[in-house]
């Protein structure tokens, strides 16, 4: 049964090939069936595999499929590797992916490029499965770049609008910065450890490298570079909010549930390396913490419903990084899973709202929509509660695990914990700000909106609601993967700390109610202060990161280019140019343009070479 | 290097003679059969059932003026008909007629046949080119494209048999068919080889290089007398060659129940295919040139590659299973 | 069979190579140039076969196969370039193509 | 066998000389084919039957047909003879001939030190095939990529320019 996992990537690949080769000539019906069905079949296989994997009780299983070539010890194979980690990942990818595909058949029903959409989606699922199932770095990298490509294609899906193309390019280029670092890291690992197989490589690293030495630090840092690029963490987070230009199901699938978690997966997969480099691991924690706080602040100031969710995604992935950094490997992956549930729910709910309101995305032009959009209301209520870690929703369990683990880090633990809790507080504020503004208060537009109907939209939403509420009780079979690290022990934490962790998000909800629900406090009054206006502008622009990068990289480059056009250094180069021109005038006589002349010189050179060889 | 099966000059000479006489006889057979299928009489005046018609034709062809057009390129013009004769007769060298009869027993027999077939293209091309005549040039351009293209599928379709037999030696290929002819596992290969074979010998329905109605007999427009006769006989030799090859590769060559001697079995099988080709000429219309090319590249090539791939996979799996 | 001195085979390859070189250098018709190039490539292949025969190894033939592949690709591209050239300049004189000079 | 080798070698050299001095391009091509076939015979004598057959099939049979095809397409047949004669006239051949002679001298000098006899055994198709798809599989992959690139390039270059181009 376990050998069936080769079917997992095969179905989406077949779906992609069929849809690509029919060039969009397929009718919507069959195209939707193929697109969603292939992922559904994958999910069925994944479920079968999961059952038999858990029953068998083995730690890991490798399925060799094919060896591409075998040259001088370099034998990259297409081998699939299954363990607890990849099991969780494939279940999330195919499960949530399937729901989103079904949802998309409704959401994209009127789009002229229906079949192209599913074509890209299937390719994406294929690449993502390859990423998490590959047992060697080459396959992982193939999947990694494959999802990057799909992300580019899908963000720019509506390529008629130049802005979408810009957003797609930005996502591609920014993640490429991280990918370059990662590629160098992979080369370094291969060069140093001599194997591409991830497990062998990790064992070799453990055996050869002492803890805290330079090489693991460098490789871990480079891999972290790749991870922050793909997972939209500081300093490469700027692409994700712009990536909301794509269709909403894409935002749900790629930019919330699966692709952006690839960085988390990468770090979890190579966690041995990070354990060998404690400094870098701590860096991971701080990157996550700072990102989650910055994204939290920014989310509070946004007006676009999807951008709020995008910043919240950045922030939640920050939590995962925090978890990874403090050694709560299973906690991070657990949070990855629950986050996939409720963030997919929120995005799909947002999609339903947007579609119902004729592609309106500004929350301040909605208001009082709970009667008109009951399903969307329910989505946001449940998703929002899970996102703010309301007790006993799925987000509560996973976030708890991360924060408790953070507290246990020696030295900086309290700070990390405090940051995480404050982040949770902001999560409460921005999530329910969105909620109250959209669904309560007075209607500020679209008074006669009617909610979109259709089982293929409603059913995935209800399943995701259930998962968001009860997903916290799903047992994650990760102990075998991470067991050799910190032993799984009962956490001891004082009741006060725990109380704080539960209370702060609730206080956040309360504050946002006071501002946006009951109107007790007035936002206008707050905004009348110039300082708060400036702060609002600053946060609204995402801490000015785009401007900062313009300032730091783009403008200096342009400036240098301009300055370099005519400066005194040129004189020196002019001299060089004059010399080389003189040489050129000499040599130009040999450049007759006649091919036979060139051939003659080559032959003469050959003769001379042989002569030298013979004489010496 | 050459292990001579029979080896004597006498046997070589007798095979040569037999093949050429057979080819000449085929001219009469074809005319009789065609007219039979078209419900007319055909040549029936000279000799018994008109069989002496062949001799009469020979006399006519030998005594005609052997004329080289003044505008033609003399060397090439003379060389072209010789090439086809030489090439086809050379191909017969590796054909195993019976366990005893055959000229050479080469380890690369299949490749040798392919090499000769590919050289055969020059005959048509040079003939058309040297004639310095636009119809001839058109004909030879068509022939070049057609023969070079169909050579590819011919080669690939053969490889299925080679994979099964594990040898390029035609004699061994026949011997490995003792427990089953390759027509069964290689039916697709057989079909492709049949079609490609007809195209290689540019007989109807693939006689596009010499289509009388379109390009005035194509590459041999300017030829007459003995040189035309060589082209003519060369075509029939090609027919015999293709039939013999099909027999050897797909129908077990000389193998058959013991009540008939091997040579008779071989002749029966080859004769059947010769008749089949003649019937094809009588029955099928000529396709258009572009149809022929796209049929080859878009249909036969993928099909033959697929056939080879599947055959290879099956052989690989079955050999690794038994090991 | 065999028992031919390796030296003689290599010398034959050398002679053919030199003849091809003369062809490349003297002809102005680009088709001839390409044909002479083929002669040179073929001479290289011959040298490999001779060496392979000397050591009774298949590697020589494999190298020849690779040269064959190279030649096929080279001729395909070269001839299509000739067709382009003829379309543009109505000549096969290689000296016409002398615009790319210093 | 020895005799066959030297005979084929003589044919190859004479035919190759024919290639480089001919003025009629079709005749030159026929000489080239002859030279290639002679080399194929040499391959067979040297115990390389696969190479010999491929030389005949691919080199003499396919690549040269391409040449002939292009000659036919461009109609370079006999009209260019005068031109060739004019182009070959003059002293343009002296320097190349000298250079080639020097090169040949060097080659002879270098190669005359080589000892050894060619093997008596044939290296069969099977041996070549197993090595080709064993240690040389990377080379096969590269060759296939090269052929693909050549195919695409040739298709693209020889295509008639569309109305919009240039």
Closest residue on chain B to D71 (Cα): B129
B190 in Cβ contact with B183 (< 8 Å) = yes
Chains contacting chain A through 3 or more C-beta pairs under 8 A = C, D
Chains contacting chain C through 3 or more C-beta pairs under 8 A = A, D
Q: Which of residues 82-121 of D touch C (CB under 8 A)?
A: 83-84, 87-88, 92-93, 95-97, 99-101, 103-104, 107-108, 111-112, 114-121
Given A69, A604, A610, which is nearest D110 (Cβ)?
A: A610
Residue A386: burial class (beta carbons within 10 Å; 0-12, 13-18, 19+): buried
Given C28, C33, C102, which is nearest A591 (Cβ)?
A: C102
Q: In sequence order, what are the residues at sequence separation of 6 or more whose Cβ sits closer than 8 angstroms to the Cβ of residue B134? A: none
Task: Please give the biggest Cα pair distance in chain C.
Answer: 55
End-to-end CA distance of chain C: 55
At B171 the three-state DSSP class reads helix
Subunit contact A70:D137, Cβ cutoff 8 A: yes
Closest residue on chain B to D56 (Cα): B115
Which residues in chain A land under pLDDT 50?
Answer: 485-488
Chain Cα centroid distance, residue A328 = 19
- What residues pair up with B125 in beta bridges, in sequence order? none
Q: What per-residue confidence (pLDDT) applies to A547?
A: 74
Give D104's contacts in chain C (Cβ within 8 Å). 14-15, 18
Which residues in chain D land under pLDDT 70?
Answer: 1, 76-80, 89-90, 119-120, 161-166
To the nearest whole Å, the CA of D147 is away from the closest chain C CA by 6
Given C24, C25, C100, which is nearest A593 (Cβ)?
A: C100
Q: Which two tokens stand for residue A591?
A: 């450049």
Residue where the block lists tokens 């919330």: A256
To the nearest whole Å, the CA of B201 is away from the closest chain D CA by 16
Q: Would the pLDDT of B6 be above 50? A: no
Per-residue pLDDT of B95-105, as tens digits, reads 887 777 667 77
Per-residue pLDDT of A316-336, as tens digits, reads 888 888 888 888 888 888 888
Subunit contact D102:A607, Cβ cutoff 8 A: yes
Closest residue on chain C to D132 (Cα): C62
Q: Which two tokens stand for residue B121?
A: 């293209």
Q: Which of residues 28-67 of D touch C (CB under 8 A)?
A: 28-29, 32, 35-36, 39, 42-43, 45-48, 50-51, 54-55, 58-59, 62-63, 66-67
To the nearest whole Å, the CA of A607 is away from the closest chain D CA by 6
Give D100's contacts in chain A (Cβ within 8 Å). 603
Give D141's contacts in chain A (Cβ within 8 Å). 69
Per-residue pLDDT of C27-83, as tens digits, reads 888 888 888 999 999 999 999 988 888 888 888 888 998 999 999 999 989 988 888
- Taking the C-alpha atoms of residue A389 and residue A383, their distance in angstroms, rounded to an integer, is 10
For range B312-322, the mean pLDDT: 79
Q: What per-residue confidence (pLDDT) applies to B3?
A: 46
Q: Which of A310-314, B127-131, C13-17, D46-50 has the lowest average pLDDT?
A: B127-131
For range B31-41, the mean pLDDT: 78
B125 touches chain D (CB under 8 A): yes
A148 in Cβ contact with A177 (< 8 Å) = no
* A470: nearest Cα among A554, A363, A417, A394: A394
Subunit contact A603:C25, Cβ cutoff 8 A: yes
Give C102's contacts in chain A (Cβ within 8 Å). 584, 587-591
Subunit contact A606:D110, Cβ cutoff 8 A: no
- Taking the C-alpha atoms of residue A341 and residue A346, their distance in angstroms, rounded to an integer, is 9
Subunit contact D99:A71, Cβ cutoff 8 A: no
For range C90-101, the mean pLDDT: 72
Q: Is the pTM of this model over 0.80?
A: no
Torsion of CA B226, B230, B232, B235, to 10 degrees: 180
* Three-class secondary structure assignment of A445-507: CCCCCCCCCCHHHHHHHHHHHHHHHHHHHCCCCCHHHHCCCCCCCCCCCCHHHHHHHHHHHHH
B219 touches chain D (CB under 8 A): no
Buried b (16+ CB within 10 A) or exposed e, B206-242: bbbbbbeebbebbbbbbbbbebbbbbbbbbbbbbbbb
Give C40's contacts in chain D (Cβ within 8 Å). none
Cα–Cα distance list, A33 to A46, A109, A118, C58 (Å):
19, 12, 10, 53
Calculate the average pLDDT of chain B. 79
- Taking the C-alpha atoms of residue B31 and residue B45, their distance in angstroms, rounded to an integer, is 13
Given A69, A604, A610, which is nearest D141 (Cβ)?
A: A69
To the nearest whole Å, the CA of C102 is away from the closest chain D CA by 23
Pairs across B and D, CB distance < 8 A: 88
Buried b (16+ CB within 10 A) or exposed e, A83-112: bbbbbbbbbbbbbbbbbbbbbbbbbbeeee
Q: What per-residue confidence (pLDDT) applies to C88?
A: 81
- What residues pair up with A504 in beta bridges, in sequence order? none
When scoring B107, B108, B149, B219 by the number of chain D Cβ atoms within 10 A, the one with the most, hence best to mutate, is B108
D72 touches chain C (CB under 8 A): no
């Amino acid at each position: 049964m376990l050998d069936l996992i080769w079917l997992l990537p095969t179905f989406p690949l077949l779906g992609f090939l069929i849809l690509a080769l029919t060039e969009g000539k397929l009718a919507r019906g069959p195209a939707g069936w193929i697109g969603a069905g292939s992922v559904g079949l994958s999910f069925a296989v994944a479920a079968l595999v999961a059952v038999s994997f858990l029953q068998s009780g083995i730690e890991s299983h490798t399925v060799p499929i094919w060896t591409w070539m075998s040259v001088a010890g370099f034998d990259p194979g297409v081998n699939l590797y299954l363990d607890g980690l990849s099991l969780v990942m494939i279940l999330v990818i195919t499960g949530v992916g399937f729901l989103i595909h079904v949802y998309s058949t409704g959401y994209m029903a009127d789009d002229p490029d229906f079949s192209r959409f599913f074509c890209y989606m299937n390719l994406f699922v294929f690449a993502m499965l390859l990423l998490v199932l590959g047992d060697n770095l080459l396959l992982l990298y193939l999947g990694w770049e494959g999802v990057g490509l799909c992300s580019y294609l899908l963000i720019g899906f509506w390529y008629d609008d130049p802005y979408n193309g810009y957003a797609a390019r930005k996502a591609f280029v920014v993640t490429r910065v991280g990918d370059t670092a990662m590629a160098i890291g992979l080369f370094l690992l291969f060069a140093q450890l001599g194997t591409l197989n991830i497990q062998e490589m990790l064992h070799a690293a453990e055996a050869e490298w002492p803890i805290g030495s330079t090489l693991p630090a460098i490789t871990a840092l480079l891999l972290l570079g790749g991870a922050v690029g793909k997972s939209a963490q500081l300093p490469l987070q700027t692409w994700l909010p712009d990536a909301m230009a794509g269709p909403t199901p894409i935002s749900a699938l790629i930019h919330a549930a699966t692709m952006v978690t690839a960085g988390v997966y990468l770090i979890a997969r190579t966690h041995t390396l990070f354990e060998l480099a404690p400094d870098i691991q701590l860096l991971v924690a701080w990157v996550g913490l700072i990102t989650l706080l910055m994204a939290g602040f920014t989310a509070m100031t946004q007006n676009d419903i999807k951008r709020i969710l995008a910043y919240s995604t950045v922030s939640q992935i920050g939590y995962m990084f925090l978890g990874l950094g403090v050694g709560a490997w299973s906690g991070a992956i657990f949070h990855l899973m629950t986050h996939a549930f409720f963030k997919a729910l929120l995005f799909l709910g947002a999609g339903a709202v947007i579609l119902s309101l004729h592609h309106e995305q500004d929350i301040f032009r909605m208001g009082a929509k709970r009667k008109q959009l009951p399903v969307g209301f329910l989505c946001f209520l449940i998703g929002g509660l899970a996102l703010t870690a309301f007790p006993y929703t799925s987000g509560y369990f996973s976030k708890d695990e991360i924060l408790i683990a953070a507290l246990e880090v020696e030295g900086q633990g309290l700070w990390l914990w405090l940051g995480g809790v404050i982040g949770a507080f902001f999560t409460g504020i921005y999530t329910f700000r969105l909620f109250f503004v959209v669904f309560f208060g007075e209607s500020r537009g679209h008074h006669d909106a009617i909610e979109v109907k259709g089982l293929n939209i409603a059913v995935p939403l209800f399943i995701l609601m259930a998962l968001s509420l009860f997903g916290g009780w799903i047992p994650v079979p990760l102990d075998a993967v991470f067991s050799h690290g910190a032993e799984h022990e009962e956490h001891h934490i004082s009741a006060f700390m725990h109380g704080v962790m539960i209370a702060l998000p609730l206080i956040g909800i309360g504050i946002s109610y006071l501002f946006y629900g009951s109107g007790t406090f007035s936002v206008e009054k707050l905004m009348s202060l110039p300082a708060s206006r400036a702060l609002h502008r600053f946060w609204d622009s995402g801490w000015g990161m785009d401007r900062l990068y313009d300032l730091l990289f783009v403008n200096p480059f342009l400036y240098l280019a301009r300055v370099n056009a005519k400066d005194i250094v040129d004189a020196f180069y002019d001299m060089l140019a004059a010399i080389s021109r003189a040489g050129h005038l000499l040599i130009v006589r040999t450049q007759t343009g006649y091919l036979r002349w060139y051939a003659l010189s080559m032959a003469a050179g050959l003769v001379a070479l042989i002569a030298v060889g013979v004489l010496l | 290097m050459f292990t001579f099966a029979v080896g004597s000059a006498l046997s070589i000479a007798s095979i040569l003679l037999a093949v050429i006489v057979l080819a000449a006889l085929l001219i009469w057979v074809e005319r009789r059969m065609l007219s039979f299928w078209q419900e007319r009489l055909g040549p029936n005046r000279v000799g018994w059932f008109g069989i002496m018609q062949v001799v009469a034709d020979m006399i006519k062809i030998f005594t005609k003026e052997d004329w080289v057009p003044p505008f033609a390129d003399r060397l090439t013009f003379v060389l072209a008909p010789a090439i086809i004769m030489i090439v086809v007769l050379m191909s017969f060298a590796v054909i195993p007629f019976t366990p005893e009869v055959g000229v050479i027993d080469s380890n690369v027999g299949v490749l040798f046949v392919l090499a000769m077939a590919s050289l055969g293209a020059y005959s048509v091309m040079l003939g058309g080119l040297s004639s310095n005549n636009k119809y001839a040039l058109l004909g030879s351009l068509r022939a070049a494209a057609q023969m070079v293209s169909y050579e590819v599928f011919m080669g690939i379709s053969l490889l299925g048999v080679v994979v099964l037999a594990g040898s390029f030696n035609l004699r061994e290929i026949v011997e490995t068919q003792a427990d089953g002819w390759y027509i069964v596992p290689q039916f697709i290969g057989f079909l492709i080889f049949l079609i490609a074979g007809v195209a290689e010998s540019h007989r109807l329905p693939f006689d596009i290089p010499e289509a009388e109605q379109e390009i005035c007999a194509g590459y041999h427009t300017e030829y007459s007398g003995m040189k035309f006769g060589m082209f003519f006989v060369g075509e029939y030799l090609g027919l015999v060659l293709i039939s013999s090859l099909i027999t050897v590769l797909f129908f077990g060559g000389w193998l058959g129940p013991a009540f008939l001697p091997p040579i008779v079995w071989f002749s029966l099988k080859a004769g059947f295919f010769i008749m089949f080709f003649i019937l094809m000429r009588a029955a099928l219309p000529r396709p258009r040139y572009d149809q022929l090319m796209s049929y080859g590249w878009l249909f036969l090539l993928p099909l033959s590659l697929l056939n080879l791939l599947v055959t290879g996979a099956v052989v690989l799996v079955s050999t690794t299973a038994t090991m | 069979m065999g028992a031919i001195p390796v030296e003689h085979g290599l010398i034959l390859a050398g002679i053919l190579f030199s003849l091809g070189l003369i062809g490349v250098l003297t002809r102005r018709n680009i088709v001839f140039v390409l044909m002479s190039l083929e002669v040179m490539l073929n001479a290289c292949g011959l040298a490999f076969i001779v060496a392979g025969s000397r050591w009774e190894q298949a590697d020589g033939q494999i190298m020849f196969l690779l040269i064959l592949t190279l030649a096929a690709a080279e001729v395909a591209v070269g001839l299509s370039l000739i067709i382009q050239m003829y379309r543009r300049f109505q000549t096969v004189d290689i000296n016409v193509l002398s615009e790319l000079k210093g | 066998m020895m005799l066959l080798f030297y005979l084929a070698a003589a044919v190859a050299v004479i035919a190759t000389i024919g290639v480089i001095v001919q003025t009629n391009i079709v005749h030159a091509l026929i000489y080239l084919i002859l030279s290639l076939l002679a080399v194929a015979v040499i391959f067979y004598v040297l115990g390389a039957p696969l190479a010999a057959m491929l030389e005949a099939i691919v080199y003499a049979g396919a690549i040269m047909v391409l040449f002939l095809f292009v000659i036919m397409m461009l109609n370079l047949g006999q009209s260019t003879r005068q031109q060739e004669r004019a182009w070959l006239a003059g002293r343009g051949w002296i320097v190349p001939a000298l250079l080639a002679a020097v090169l040949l001298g060097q080659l002879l000098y270098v190669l005359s030190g080589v000892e050894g006899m060619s093997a008596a055994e044939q290296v069969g198709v099977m041996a070549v095939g197993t090595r080709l798809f064993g240690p040389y599989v990377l080379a096969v992959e590269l060759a296939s990529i090269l052929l693909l690139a050549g195919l695409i390039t040739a298709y693209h270059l020889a295509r008639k320019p569309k109305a919009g181009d240039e």
